Structure 1
Amino acid sequence: MQNTEANLSKNNHIKSSHIKTSHVKTSHVNKAAMTEQQVLIAGGGHVGLSFALLLAHHGIASTLLEKNSYPTISPNDDAKRSHYLDSRNTALSRRTVQIYQEIGLWDELQSHACRIDAVQISEQGSFGRAQLNKAEEQVESFGQVMENAWLGRKLLLAAQQEPLITLIDNANVIAVDQQSDGVTLSFSYYGEEEHEQQLQASILVACDGRDSTVRQLLGISTTTYDYQQAAIVGVVETDKPHEHIAIERFSPAGPLAVLPLTDPEGDGNDEYQEGYRRSVVWVCPTGEEDKYLEDDVHFLATLQQAFGARAGTFKKAGRRGAYPLTRVLADKQVDGRCVIMGNAAHTLHPVAGQGFNLCMRDAHVLAQMMSRQVLKGEDIGNPTLLKRYEKARQTDQKRVIRFCDAVVHGFTHPNPAVKLARNVALVAFDKLPNIKPLIANYAMGLKS
């Protein structure tokens, strides 16, 4: 289970805005080549940074604009959480791990990643049970769980150190103008006084979140659905070691998850014991958030009732946040030389942890297609190419969207007949041959 936009730059407390010259880097390729091949990326969260790093891996320069202020960090900094990061965690699928391995970043990430060796699935108060085990599926793991604090820090460090990536923070996009051979992006920023600037490139990729400014400026409408739910996300300690097991539990309120976490390292949770620390995603109806946020005793008791003895006794609760759950789908993901990506393209329910991993597969495919254009000496922002990208990603995207919605609605439907059917389906999933490998491969992002 994974959060909605895992956005590195989520910070509502920043009141001033300026370009930090220490973070703005000029590409080391020659200026003519950079002008010809440059990509503009709006939105510097996890998806935007990852896409810029994917492009750099293929030798493609990009300029990334982020509306908030990036922190000043160095490779020698410890891993303490900073105010710009929240307490959320991300479940990285095997395919996402492979993508980070391809660009040489996984060695930097894995020290704070906790592998998932097994997944237990059940419904509260029902007989249906299923389990995925890595030995049975003959995989190293089903994925990895990582705190956003660490993932964001490492992505930012890698981008700061990459000469093909120019970072501009505190940049507010105000206009997008498309020409036949390029895109002009206008943005404002603050130094000693407010400034306005324009950048031109062959292509603009918008990774600026669910409420995307670029998407709105392009006049791209969205199809939205309010689940009337909120996700309560935080960290807990149990008296039973997690043993690298992820627990998916369905309750009348919605899907829940307890995921294994690594030992803390300088994040303010030093009292947590080795192997007893877990990420929790608790879904509740909209309007009930406060009682789970403000009262640790009530929160822990509610978790205990929902999960029973599967995770052991819930002993302590760390800080947590509440995030409204709404599905937002862009009605189109390509407009001329502009691509809508990440949560700007599809914001999904966090059930099964598919959202961020789907975004990474999108980014990987587009980076590969653009790389092939460069090798052929052709235009990386060619609208025909971008339309091919949009079409190529439809099958994977639609499958994931349908799966997430089917799980959410199927496991919260109160009809007794529907409840019986889904529990029979869980048992069948657990017992029938050939079903588990298929579902496991989809969940790991290996079938798209």
Structure 2
Amino acid sequence: MHESQFDLIICGGGMVGASLVAALTPSAKSLGLKIALVEQSPMQAKPNPQFQPSFDARSTALAYGSRTAFESMGVWELLHEHLTPIDRIHVSDRGRWGQTTMSAEQERVDALGYVVENHWLGQVLMSSVLAARDQVELYSPATVESVEWVEGQRHVVIDQDGESITLTAPLVVMADGGRSELRQRMGIEYRQTPYHQHALIANLEVDRPHDGVAYERFTENGPIALLPIEDHEGRHRMGLVWTLSDDQVNSRMGQIDQQFLADLQQAFGYRAGRLIGVGERFSYPLHLTLADEQVRRGLVVLGNAAHALHPIAGQGFNLALRGVCELAERIILAKQAGQDIGALAMLEEFIDGRRKDQSRTIGFGDSALKIFSSTNPALRLGRSLALQTLDLIPSARTLLARAAMGLDTPAARLKSND
């Protein structure tokens, strides 16, 4: 039995856990911050990540505000090498006349957002972990056996290669995903509201360049989103997120490619061009999930373990990243002041500051889904009017665009005052 002392233990080395390490890296050395990162899967990090494109790679939409976060972490320049900017977002309602377009030029920004392949984002974040190995100890693959509060510290027992290791720290962050085993083991209750829908995701080949345009198309069977992503071997690609009812998803997953593309083309239309190819399809059920407790003394729940959203507005990871940055800022300030970074009062202040953002982001996506999925004639007319109003009134469109870009929330400061 070995024992190691840290300032912070992060359980989960996915995009949220690795982002927290990257957010703390600019200040970790000057503050003498010692971090343990525990991940169940083998982490294949490289000091100089190499981009290995794949037609079927899963992608994440980054709000423009997330760029500020990654710039503060010092990883934006590398990450930007393989990002696809979103220059315009076109929103429409199938079978109705209402539509609106938001553009980066109108909002006077470089892009409304960006699309990045998940494996590239992961490699870039992990390169930041490796660059800070003097301050970060990586345990991978390793599983967390228990998390206990003992004499003013969190004790985390992990199993690595059959060896039991006890890690201690004043603060533990749980970032182990939407199916968090730790959340259940810690007795943290959560509320889950099923949408009775699935998200079907795949990459499509289209017959023309996407020109940086993202589409959100509302149909009677659920919204269809197409995201611009990098070309692959000369093939123009867009990422698909198709929201389907539970009783539709299996038939769509089982269709031959030709029939699947024909049905999707009919539902979406030809704004993005002809759909001429589809890669491997994946699907997952959609729920609105919110943990009842996101902090305890010496404990924080982050990312999908704390909240899982409908993908309608593409805000899940962006909301999580804002939480990561605010927590990192509070850890830095507490460490500078010589305060206990696991103190319950500080963590309660953190979560109080996050609830407004969480409520607003979750509420926006939930309301939009209900309004745009409704078959009520009055609501359908109302949403067409709303879209047309947005298209005619630039100030209203700007408010929506700023919210979508994550610019209505102050950016965290991630550098210590050394």
Question: Structure 2 length normalisation: TM-score?
Answer: 0.92
Question: How much does 1:419 deviate?
Answer: 1.0
Indicate if the aligned counterparts of 2:302 and 2:323 stay in contact, CA closer than 8 A: yes
Question: How much does 1:288 deviate?
Answer: 2.9
Counterpart of 2:12 in structure 1: which amino acid?
G
CA distance in 2 between counterparts of 1:329 and 1:405 reads 13
Question: How much does 1:77 deviate?
Answer: 4.1
CA distance in 1 between counterparts of 2:129 and 2:281 reads 28
Report whether the alignment pairs 1:319 with 2:290.
Answer: no
Report whether the alignment pairs 1:50 with 2:13.
Answer: no
Counterpart position of 2:140? 169
Indicate if the aligned counterparts of 2:46 and 2:130 stay in contact, CA closer than 8 A: no
Question: Which sits farther off after the overlay, 377-386 or 160-169?
Answer: 160-169
CA distance in 1 between counterparts of 2:109 and 2:103 reads 9
**Unmatched runs of 5 consecutive residues or more in structure 2:** 410-418
Matches within 5 A, 1:113-128: 113-128=83-98
* CA displacement 1:25-58 (0-9 Å, x = unmatched): xxxxxx9xx94x6200011110010011111222
Counterpart of 1:285 in structure 2: which amino acid?
S
| Match 2:187 to one of 219, 223, 229 | 219
Percent identical among aligned pairs is 34
Counterpart position of 2:412? none
Indicate if the aligned counterparts of 1:291 and 1:298 stay in contact, CA closer than 8 A: no
Counterpart position of 1:301? 262
Question: How much does 1:223 deviate?
Answer: 0.5
Counterpart of 1:249 in structure 2: which amino acid?
R
* CA displacement 1:251-290 (0-9 Å, x = unmatched): 12212111111233xxxxx251xxx211111111124334
Relative distance call for 1:390 and 1:166 in structure 2 (3 A) is same
| Match 2:125 to one of 155, 164, 167 | 155
Counterpart position of 2:252? 292
Counterpart of 2:321 in structure 1: which amino acid?
M
Counterpart of 1:441 in structure 2: which amino acid?
R
Indicate if the aligned counterparts of 1:87 and 1:321 stay in contact, CA closer than 8 A: no
Question: How much does 1:239 deviate?
Answer: 1.3
CA distance in 2 between counterparts of 1:283 and 1:65 reads 34
CA distance in 2 between counterparts of 1:287 and 1:101 reads 43
Counterpart position of 2:347? 386
| Match 2:373 to one of 395, 399, 412 | 412
Indicate if the aligned counterparts of 1:55 and 1:61 stay in contact, CA closer than 8 A: no
Question: How much does 1:88 deviate?
Answer: 1.8
Matches within 5 A, 1:175-324: 175-190=146-161, 194-264=162-232, 270-272=233-235, 276-294=236-254, 295-324=256-285
Counterpart of 1:312 in structure 2: which amino acid?
G
| Match 1:402 to one of 330, 351, 363 | 363
Question: How much does 1:180 deviate?
Answer: 5.0
Relative distance call for 1:78 and 1:366 in structure 2 (3 A) is closer
Question: How much does 1:383 deviate?
Answer: 1.2
Counterpart position of 1:105? 75
Relative distance call for 1:303 and 1:184 in structure 2 (3 A) is same
Relative distance call for 1:77 and 1:437 in structure 2 (3 A) is closer
Question: How much does 1:125 deviate?
Answer: 0.9
Counterpart position of 1:354? 315
Question: How much does 1:62 deviate?
Answer: 1.2
Question: Which sits farther off after the overlay, 172-181 or 138-147?
Answer: 172-181
**Unmatched runs of 5 consecutive residues or more in structure 1:** 1-30, 265-269
Counterpart of 1:113 in structure 2: which amino acid?
L
Relative distance call for 1:344 and 1:319 in structure 2 (3 A) is same
Counterpart of 1:288 in structure 2: which amino acid?
Q
Matches within 5 A, 1:36-47: 38-47=7-16
CA distance in 2 between counterparts of 1:184 and 1:402 reads 36
Indicate if the aligned counterparts of 2:158 and 2:166 stay in contact, CA closer than 8 A: yes
CA distance in 2 between counterparts of 1:403 and 1:108 reads 32
* CA displacement 1:197-238 (0-9 Å, x = unmatched): 211001000001112122222211000011111111111111
Indicate if the aligned counterparts of 1:130 and 1:429 stay in contact, CA closer than 8 A: yes
CA distance in 1 between counterparts of 2:51 and 2:92 reads 38
Q: How well do the aligned residues superpose, as a CA RMSD in angstroms?
A: 1.9
Report whether the alignment pairs 1:63 with 2:36.
Answer: yes
Question: How much does 1:328 deviate?
Answer: 1.1
Question: Structure 1 length normalisation: TM-score?
Answer: 0.86
Question: Which sits farther off after the overlay, 97-106 or 338-347?
Answer: 97-106
Matches within 5 A, 1:66-145: 66-71=39-44, 73=46, 75=48, 77-80=50-53, 87-145=57-115
Counterpart of 1:284 in structure 2: which amino acid?
L
Relative distance call for 1:196 and 1:81 in structure 2 (3 A) is farther
Q: Which runs of 4+ in 1 moved over 6 A?
A: none
Question: How much does 1:332 deviate?
Answer: 1.7
Question: Which sits farther off after the overlay, 432-441 or 335-344?
Answer: 432-441
Question: How much does 1:73 deviate?
Answer: 4.3
Report whether the alignment pairs 1:373 with 2:334.
Answer: yes
Indicate if the aligned counterparts of 2:191 and 2:292 stay in contact, CA closer than 8 A: yes
Question: How much does 1:74 deviate?
Answer: 5.3
